[in-house]
Amino acid sequence: MSGILVLAEHDGGVFRKTAAELVAKAASLGASLGLDVTVGTIGDAPVGSLGAYGAQRAVRVSGDFGAYSTLQTAGAVAAMIDAVGASIVLAPASYAGKDALPRVAARLGAGFVADCTDLRADGGALVARRPMYSGKAYVDARVSAAIGIFTVRPNSFGAPAGGGAEVAVTEVAFAAVADPITVVESRVPESQAVDLTEADRIVSGGRSLGSKERFDEVIRPLGAALGATVGASRAAVDAHYAPHGEQVGQTGKTVNPQLYVAVGISGAIQHLAGMRTSRVIVAINKDATAPIMEHAAYAIVGDLFEVVPALVEALKEA
Ligand SMILES: Cc1cc2nc3c(=O)[nH]c(=O)nc-3n(C[C@H](O)[C@H](O)[C@H](O)COP(=O)(O)OP(=O)(O)OC[C@H]3O[C@@H](n4cnc5c(N)ncnc54)[C@H](O)[C@@H]3O)c2cc1C
């Protein structure tokens, strides 16, 4: 084994929360496995600053690649793995992580473990835990190939302390490849202050809200009172109560918050697939036998149109 490479994602130069979280986790794994930690990024971002969380080195592929491109990202990541001589690669289970990294693994003959929720050093090897069958079971996986690439769900390890020193950055050469795809237009959806996939607290509403107006009047104030990002079930999204970017579940976003409040959501398997690993689940439902109740640490059985406004008032007073 020769080293751990952490891929740090950023939005316009500002690192996503997962960057520090993964670097800190890599530092503790590196100490157990006897491996150095390098953090790498693509584009203009102060990657040396992530030394604060325990990286010993930093690498960067500079250049303006324009809109996100699978081919350029896969090529740039492969170049960084090669330059670092990494045997372990950690990256967020983001859209880019899900899209580009399987290609990198195929290109390098690496093992690939997606969507991990825990990583530990065991017997000199990295063992990754990941959910299977929509979260009904977990598997512990090791990679036997020379390189292992692991994507990790945001919020799996919590916020790290930081406090270390900035490290020097080495540029990695990468010549953009000819891309058969030309992006003609990018549309950025309206986004909330904290993205669902990285949120610590989420309040989601379901079909039971009955209209977009009531979703906005009932769910969003509870989100604001809790400092939470708002999500929705697919039934609520299909009925246009909330935009698709707010859908949680198998065909929506996978979330992993500390707190998930499911309001008037039954807990269908496809919804659970996207939120089951949340630390504390609170269900508000008038049906005490709804499937979501089996997963809830706290259940409030009652009419959401009475419970939620009372909760918002109580939170404001508190
Ligand atoms: C291929 C596929 C992919 C899918 N992907 C997703 C996905 O990504 N995300 C997702 O969410 N779903 C997904 N679904 C849909 C999923 O199967 C469910 O249909 C959906 O999650 C149901 O949404 P819901 O819980 O809001 O509605 P319902 O199942 O109708 O549940 C409404 C709940 O609200 C409660 N309720 C009603 N009125 C009140 C009230 N006044 N007060 C309190 N409680 C009340 C009811 O008791 C009930 O439990 C998918 C389905 C398929 C087939």
Angle subtended by helix axes 70-84 and 95-108, to nearest 10: 60
The range of the structural domain enclosing residue 256 comes to 196-317
Query: How many whole angstroms from 224 Cα to the centroid of ligand 1?
Result: 23
The model's pLDDT over 131-175, given as tens digits with 9 standing for 90+, comes to: 998 888 999 999 999 999 999 999 999 889 888 899 999 999 998
Partners of residue 112 on adjacent β-strands: 149
Q: What is the CATH number of the domain that holds 269?
A: 3.40.50.1220
The model's pLDDT over 23-43, given as tens digits with 9 standing for 90+, comes to: 999 999 999 999 999 999 999
Does the pLDDT value for residue 1 go beyond 70?
Answer: no
Tell me, yes or no, whether 104 and 203 share the same domain: no
Helices (H) then strands (E): counts for the chain: 8, 17
What does the pLDDT read at residue 194? 87
Residue that finishes a domain, picked among 131, 154, 171: 171
Tell me, yes or no, whether 166 and 294 share the same domain: no
Q: Which of 270, 289, 301, 305 best tests ligand 1's pocket when mutated (most atoms within 8 Å of CB)? A: 270
Residue that has been written with the tokens 């999500």 in this structure = 231
Count of domains forming the chain:
2
Report which secondary-structure segment, H or E, holds 121: strand 118-122
265 in ligand 1 pocket by Cβ < 6 Å? yes
Q: What is the CATH number of the domain that holds 30?
A: 3.40.50.620
- What mean pLDDT do residues 2-22 have? 95
268 in ligand 1 pocket by Cβ < 6 Å? yes
Write down the pTM of the prediction.
0.88
Tell me, yes or no, whether 111 and 229 share the same domain: no
Tell me, yes or no, whether 31 and 158 share the same domain: yes
Structure-token pair, residue 2: 């020769």
Q: CA 203: distance to chain centroid?
A: 17
The model's pLDDT over 176-206, given as tens digits with 9 standing for 90+, comes to: 888 898 889 888 777 777 889 999 999 999 9
